[in-house]
Structure 1
Amino acid sequence: MEEKFAYIEGAEQPISMHPKKFALWLFIVTVVMIFASLTSAYIVRQAEGNWLEFDLPDIFYYTSGIIVLSSITLHFAYISAKKDDLPKLRLGMGLTAVLAIVFLIGQWYSWIALVDRDVFFVGNPAGSFLYVFTGLHGLHLVSGVIFLIIVLISSFRYKVHSQSMDTMEMCVTYWHFLGGLWLYLFMFLLLNH
């Protein structure tokens, strides 16, 4: 009889995940599949010929630095939240939101730079792909900015702290994913344009 109770006590707990975190991971997997298919289509279409060769706008280098810096400030905010240092949490979230908006503005200026180089959405597939990559990433980034602002507001309402980290962790995961996605796209374009 004792062996039976020992066995029950030693039973493993099922692996569980917060439902919203699970939904976020499913969404991230979906976005990865979309961009993987787009980059594959880019390579296939480029091999067919009739491909416009052009230099990427210099602003892409700056926006890449901005997105990396925003991940650093968000990590600073995350560490501050774990330590219940609310002023530093708010500072980190605020800086991250500002850097995110600066990144979006930089992407807009990259489109202006492309037009100045006679690279348009219609005409040559090379330009079309570049606009689709940056536009689709920008659309996801807008959702990331909204998420950052929601967490920033929540930090002022004392809803983000060491005992309530779910929303913060989801925001950090999503933002780092978006930053990594941009760096992947930028490197892909550098190597394949």
Structure 2
Amino acid sequence: MSAILIFMAGIAGIIAWWMTRQRLTSKPWLETSPAGDAPDMRGSSATTAKVGLGIFLAVVGALFTLLISAYLTRLSGTDWWSIPIPRLLWVNTAALAASSVALQWAKTEARLNHSEMLNTALAVAFALGVLFLVGQVLAWRQLVAAGYVLADNPSNSFFYMITGLHGLHILGGLLVLGRTTFRARNNNARARVRLSVDLCAIYWHFMLVVWLILFALFAGWANSFVDLCRQLVT
């Protein structure tokens, strides 16, 4: 339980830090300059979109937190046999991390109005995201071929359920990223494109952090952390 509280506190800290960067802690009544001199305050739609995404990510984080809590609780059962981690997951993790880096690159190019480099960065991020999903499916097929089917063991069920749910979130992100890539190639509204790229980057970075936590959980590294937390509590 303490491990879950620490995880939730970490997620809350990340969200709080991110929200402070969206001018939510600013005091507009103290602004003394004319409204036309404050371009950052005119982008209310951008702020609304980012706050909406922050709320959505908070819900997603809570969902995965509950799943991790259930996983750690079920871990101590006598009928639990840990599922082996395919080596392909290392490649998938590298692909998702590289995709996140590419989106950060796209975010920089969008702010500099470098259209060609922006299109390249978005295409790379999208391709690596697809590679991650394909790799996840291949990892599933490897496990099934080795006899680790869904209903054979609680560990198998949790693995397929959690990785599948994460994959669905990545798939949803790819749909939005694909639309953003198309918009960047065909839309002259640079401000709207920059906002879309920013939102995609924030979402992708968050899903990368979630996957790294899940990967550590499935690899067994989290067990030592949980034991340490239990020792600190007792």
| TM-score normalised over the length of structure 2 | 0.73
1:90-146 deviations in Å (ceiling 9; x for gaps): 000001101110100000001001112211111210000000111000000001101
Q: Secondary structure at the match of 1:11?
A: helix
Q: Secondary structure at the match of 1:51?
A: coil
Kept after mapping to 2: 8 A contact 1:60/1:107: yes
Kept after mapping to 1: 8 A contact 2:96/2:132: yes
Q: Secondary structure at the match of 1:119?
A: coil
Kept after mapping to 2: 8 A contact 1:81/1:160: no
* Letter paired with 1:156: R
The residue number in structure 1 matching 2:56 is 27
Structure 2 Cα separation of the partners of residues 46 and 178 of structure 1: 24
* Runs of 4+ more than 6 Å apart: none
Identity over aligned pairs, percent = 27
Structure 1 Cα separation of the partners of residues 145 and 199 of structure 2: 39
How far apart are 1:166 and its partner, in Å? 1.7
Q: Secondary structure at the match of 2:205?
A: helix
* Letter paired with 2:78: G
Deviates more, 1:124-133 or 1:68-77: 68-77
Structure 2 Cα separation of the partners of residues 30 and 113 of structure 1: 32
Q: Does 1:182 align with 2:175?
A: no
The residue number in structure 1 matching 2:22 is none
| TM-score normalised over the length of structure 1 | 0.88
Q: Does 1:83 align with 2:112?
A: yes
Alignment of 1:90-169 (within 5 A): 90-159=119-188, 161=190, 165-169=194-198
Structure 1 Cα separation of the partners of residues 83 and 175 of structure 2: 33
Residues 116/165 of structure 1: CA separation in 2 closer, same or farther (3 Å cut): same
The residue number in structure 2 matching 1:47 is 76
Q: Which sections of structure 1, spanning at least 5 residues, go unmatched?
A: 1-9
The residue number in structure 1 matching 2:9 is none
